Amino acid sequence: MDISDVLTRLRDFTDERDWAQFHTPRNLVLALVGEVGELAEVVQWRTDEEVLEHARTAEGHEALADEIADVFTYLLGIADALDIDLDEAVNAKITKNAEKYPAHLARGSNAKYTELP
Amino acid sequence: MDISDVLTRLRDFTDERDWAQFHTPRNLVLALVGEVGELAEVVQWRTDEEVLEHARTAEGHEALADEIADVFTYLLGIADALDIDLDEAVNAKITKNAEKYPAHLARGSNAKYTELP
Amino acid sequence: MDISDVLTRLRDFTDERDWAQFHTPRNLVLALVGEVGELAEVVQWRTDEEVLEHARTAEGHEALADEIADVFTYLLGIADALDIDLDEAVNAKITKNAEKYPAHLARGSNAKYTELP
Amino acid sequence: MDISDVLTRLRDFTDERDWAQFHTPRNLVLALVGEVGELAEVVQWRTDEEVLEHARTAEGHEALADEIADVFTYLLGIADALDIDLDEAVNAKITKNAEKYPAHLARGSNAKYTELP
């Protein structure tokens, strides 16, 4: 699906409830934090293997999909409130990261986020 | 842009650097938390008005767009690692929320997240 | 109360339940994130005035106190798992910050976190 | 050290810089999120073993101690802004948790956070 279609659905949802008044940038960032917290709760006492196993059950898949969707909708709301085009932002950032972490230098290294030039 | 196109770009970026080995669900959730923290730092000492003003400057727009893009790319990575289709997840969640918060009951109320049936 | 007394109570609580096995550094950081998310949820749709008003009600005071206590206990658990003395850490950090933000330069400026030398 | 002594040091630090004006509940929660993000960044690409090893080096110990101290100082600031006594809050919560998770039922189970009565 196109990101702009998701945005249209979200704006309609918000408008029908007259909730735009609550969707200030800081409110939305705090709401995003709440949803990220719920996502963290799903993985906090599980190993990676247990998380993956959980995600393969119907219940676990739905729980994780719901949390991820919640994070995404608030993130899209933040971008919208700030007049930021998420498409453009992501493409620009991937391009920046490609320059920051040249493939031949960064290959297989978890030092990427701290030590690479 | 279609979300699946973003995902393709991200997978290519990751594969070219052989970074998939680090992209376990829990690593990615922790990385998401790091990026959400950076987004929070941009708004933490500003009022909503100051955030909006900052977002209208070239520098502020880029800083906010970068943080939002970082959160999005890790979120998409988490969904991908868990074999969750972000499109489907978001659409399913908006439908659920529409049932949970009927427009005629929820209109204009910030009680939505706590008290509505 | 002395921080070391809180730590003793927490260790006893954990030992009685044989939960130390789950209290690895990363598990605890993720659990901390979950609790910070719950704290954010209490303030996300409220203004500062509404938060303060909420904190003066019996129900709001207890809800906020509980979330703050949850964040603190996980934070203390993280420090303990890493063999970090929270007392020492806090005192060392306040001293560092006093050097980083000299009172005569930082007075009344919210630029503190970005621009001061 | 007594928590009230830490609080006194923090209040003095804040007053000397006239920063209390910025320390509203929501600003402080957002600042806490920023610091939790920095703590997450230290552990995000490391295994638990690597985190523990990092914490045993001088550099890693200081980095982790600093992040933990930052989280703690903002948490204490939030409690103070809301007129919540952290000591009381923590003791009340440990007592509540002891009732919620009786030792004989909860022993050795990571179901504690989801399924225990």
Tell me, yes or no, whether A71 and A20 share the same domain.
Answer: yes
**DSSP of D64-115:** HHHHHHHHHHHHHHHHHHTT--HHHHHHHHHHHHHHHS-HHHHTT-GGGGTT
Q: Does D50 touch chain A (CB under 8 A)?
A: no
In C, which residues are within 8 Å of D55 by CB distance?
A: 25, 82-84
Tell me, yes or no, whether C78 and C108 share the same domain.
Answer: no
Residue A18: predicted pLDDT: 93
Tell me, yes or no, whether C93 and C80 share the same domain.
Answer: no
* pLDDT tens digits, D52-106: 999 999 999 999 999 999 999 999 999 999 999 999 999 999 999 999 999 888 8
- SS3 of C2, please? strand
* pLDDT tens digits, D17-66: 999 999 999 999 999 999 999 999 999 999 999 999 999 999 999 999 99
Number of domains in chain A: 2
Name residues 54-93 of chain B within 8 A of C (Cβ): none
Asked if the model's pLDDT at residue B50 lies above 90, the reply is: yes
Tell me, yes or no, whether D63 and D101 share the same domain.
Answer: no
Residue with tokens 């998310």: C37
Containing domain of residue A96, as a range?
Answer: 86-117
ipTM over 0.90: yes
Tell me, yes or no, whether A12 and A53 share the same domain.
Answer: yes
Q: In this predicted model, which residue has the larger pLDDT, D42 or B108?
A: D42
Q: Does C35 touch chain A (CB under 8 A)?
A: yes
Tell me, yes or no, whether D79 and D99 share the same domain.
Answer: no
Q: Does C29 touch chain B (CB under 8 A)?
A: yes
Asked if the model's pLDDT at residue A109 lies above 90, the reply is: no
Do D92 and C69 count as a contact with CB atoms less than 8 A apart? yes
What CATH number corresponds to the domain at position D77?
Answer: 1.10.287.1080
Asked if the model's pLDDT at residue B113 lies above 90, the reply is: no
Residue A2: predicted pLDDT: 85
Q: What is the DSSP letter of C115?
A: T
Tell me, yes or no, whether D18 and D64 share the same domain.
Answer: yes
Tell me, yes or no, whether C33 and C66 share the same domain.
Answer: yes
* pLDDT tens digits, C52-79: 999 999 999 999 999 999 999 999 999 9
Tell me, yes or no, whether D11 and D35 share the same domain.
Answer: yes
Q: For every residue of chain A, which 3-state class applies, written as one string?
A: CEHHHHHHHHHHHHHHCCCHHHCCHHHHHHHHHHHHHHHHHHHCCCCHHHHHHHHHCHHHHHHHHHHHHHHHHHHHHHHHHCCCCHHHHHHHHHHHHHHHCCHHHHCCCHHHHCCCC
Asked if the model's pLDDT at residue C110 lies above 90, the reply is: no
**Closest CA of chain D from C111, distance in Å:** 11
Highest mean pLDDT among A2-11, B22-31, C95-104: B22-31
Asked if the model's pLDDT at residue B81 lies above 80, the reply is: yes
Tell me, yes or no, whether C62 and C29 share the same domain.
Answer: yes
Tell me, yes or no, whether B30 and B71 share the same domain.
Answer: yes
